[in-house]
Every structure is written in structure tokens, then in C-alpha cells.
Amino acid sequence: MGEFVRVEVRDGIGTIRLERPPMNALNSVVQEELRAAAQAVTADPEVRAVIVYGGDKVFAAGADIKEMADMSYVDMADRAVELSGALGAIARIPKPVVAAITGYALGGGCELALACDWRVVADDAKLGQPEIKLGIIPGAGGTQRLSRLVGPARAKDIILSGRMVDAQEALRIGLADRVVPADQVYAEAVALVTPYVKGPAQAVRAAKLAIDGGLEMDLASGLAWESQLFAALFATDDRREGMAAFVAKRKPDFTGR
């Protein structure tokens, strides 16, 4: 659908694929194409789950430093908001989203992976936020999403050192959810999200909204948000079908409505 990012839909799964060799650097064009891809899979009722994939060699090795090198504060003050918003669009996809990571997921590439719900990582992959070595910090969610995922102490270690995290450490600290051989990464990502393809799409959406939204609230507000989403599902066909199937002791046939 774009010069460097395309969307493929098969069997209810939309794959957002980065294709900017050699390292899938996230320049401004890629960022905006990711935003458009997120909007496309969100709007497509045929897409029930999403995979973000950089190919069998590399996920994404960061932002395009050549593009950024001569930018001033004034230049970046505007661009930083757009960069964060592009990856935020991935995070806001109201469907299950998994990053399928091969090679490197560094800098903006790691932030792209953090915007997904899960991360399937090749056993020889490296992840990290090396921005500190350039005299900057992560600017597209790294300081916020990484600390929420692995805790502030581990996030500070990774971000302040700029070091790379191997797959086994990533799995141990919760940065990776599954680690498999590199040639199995995409297939494992498909296996992870396939159960959601035939699920109750509105309930899946509500659960994701409840969890992600609740993380930004105090407990009382989060509980109120959960109650609102819970009650709203009683207006869906899938709620009626799910409960009717339970009573009748049969398998539900969800339609996503």
C-alpha cells in the first residue's frame, strides 16, 4: 500500500510488512506508512488479528539517523510528535497485534515492537534502545512502554547503557513472549494470533481497551472503565451467541458483531 510498508491479508490475519532494505530504517516516509497501515487494518472487518513483520533478515534497526542528523530543535519538535503518533497508531489497533522479530529491533524498531501486544523473537535476535549513544533518548515510546513492560529499573539499565538485549534475556525479563529459531518466527506469530481470528471480535477489542486504558488510570477509574466496557458488550450479537452456546452446551459461532 506504500513505498516501504505493505499490508497483506490472509485467513483473517493482516500482516504489516516493512520493506526498506537493508535494515528497515524508520524514516519519515516509513513512519507515515505505518500510520496508514494501522488505520487500514483497523478499518478492515476481514482483519481480526495483526502481525508486524520486517522479513526474515531484520525487523527494524532504528530510525533513519542520516535523516535526523542535521535537524534542529525546531525541526524535531514537530517531527517527534509525528513519530510518536505513528507508532501510537500501531498501539491503538483494536485487535490482537504481535511483532515477529528477526535480526535486530533497535531504537525505533524496538519501540515499534513495544507498541504491539506481544513479541515473537528469533533466538539470535537483538533488541535494545541505543539512542543514548547518539546523545539522545528514545522518542517514540521507549521510555514509557519499556518501563511499563519490564519495570523501571530494567528499563533504565537498557536505556541508559544503550546495550543490546539477546533473545533469552528478553524472554526472561518479559520483553519477548516467545523465542523460536529465526526461520520459525513468522509461523509462530501466526500460531499465536490464529485463535483470535474466529473469536468474539468486540469482546477482544473491549478487553484490549480495558487493559491498555486502565494502565493510564488509577484503580478506581480503571474499574469504572472496565465496568463500562463490560456492560457495552451486552449489546453485541456475540455476547448473545456466546451465552446461548454455553447454555446449550455447544461451540459458539461468533460473527464479530
Give the residue numbers marked as catalytic.
63, 108, 111, 131
In the sheet where 104-106 sits, what is the strand order?
Answer: 104-106, 126-128, 164-166
Element (H, E) at 53: strand 49-53
* Beta strands at 104-106 and 13-18: parallel, antiparallel or unpaired: unpaired
Q: What is the largest CA-CA distance in the chain?
A: 66
Q: Please, what is the Cα angle at 80 between 79 and 83, to 5 degrees?
A: 85
Hey, what's the cell of 141?
515510546
- Per the structure block, which three cell numbers stand in for 130? 541505543
The span from the first CA to the last CA of the chain, in angstroms, equals 27
Opening angle at CA 137, ends 130 and 67, nearest 5 = 80
Residue 165 CB contacts under 8 Å (≥ 6 apart), including other chains: 126, 127, 128, 158, 173, 175
Asked if 179 contacts 147 with a C-beta cutoff of 8 angstroms, the reply is: no
CA dist 239 and 4 (Å) reads 40
Nearest CA to 147 among 217, 82, 215, 220?
A: 215
The helix (H) or strand (E) run that includes residue 13 is: strand 13-18
